[in-house]
Amino acid sequence: VHREETDLAVKPRTKTQRPPMYKVLLLNDDFTPMEFVVHVLERLFAMTHAQAMEIMLTVHRKGIAVVGVFSHEVAETKVAQVMELARRQQHPLQCTMEKE
């Protein structure tokens, strides 16, 4: 029989610790081609063409958008991968992360 069913009093459980999650943010600029941004989103964030278009247009109109929410390690890797693809093509695209 489980302890909870037999004990007169059960110690309150301490709150479960969840690891902090990080938003990966994409920033607008006037120079990076729309097709390049869509390509990056499809390639690195496993988005469909329609999803990638939607996020890209949100960034284009609003200046910034959340691309996804990940663990610290995965978010860091995604940001580095976006920045590396942009650098290689000499686009000024900026990607950053922020604790949720």
φ/ψ of 64, rounded to 5, equals -160, 150
39 is a site residue for ligand TYC (CB under 6 A): no
Q: What angle do CA 97, 15, 10 make, to 5 degrees?
A: 170
| Amino acid symbol at 78 | K
Q: Is 40 or 70 the residue whose CB approaches ligand TYC more closely?
A: 40
Residue 86 contacts by C-beta under 8 Å, 6 or more apart in sequence? 32, 36, 40, 92, 93, 94, 95
In this structure, are residues 60 and 18 in contact, taking their beta carbons and an 8 Å threshold? no
- The DSSP symbol for 48 reads -
> Considering only residues 6, 10, 23, 28, which one is a binding residue for ligand TYC as defined by CB under 6 A?
28
Candidate list 10, 33, 89, 98; residue touching ligand TYC; CB under 6 A: 33
Q: Which is nearer to ligand TYC, 39 or 76 (CB)?
A: 39
Smallest gap from residue 29 Cβ to ligand TYC (A): 5
Using rule CB under 6 A, residue 34 touches ligand TYC: yes
Contact residues for ligand TYC, defined by CB under 6 A: 26-30, 32-34, 37, 56, 59-60, 93
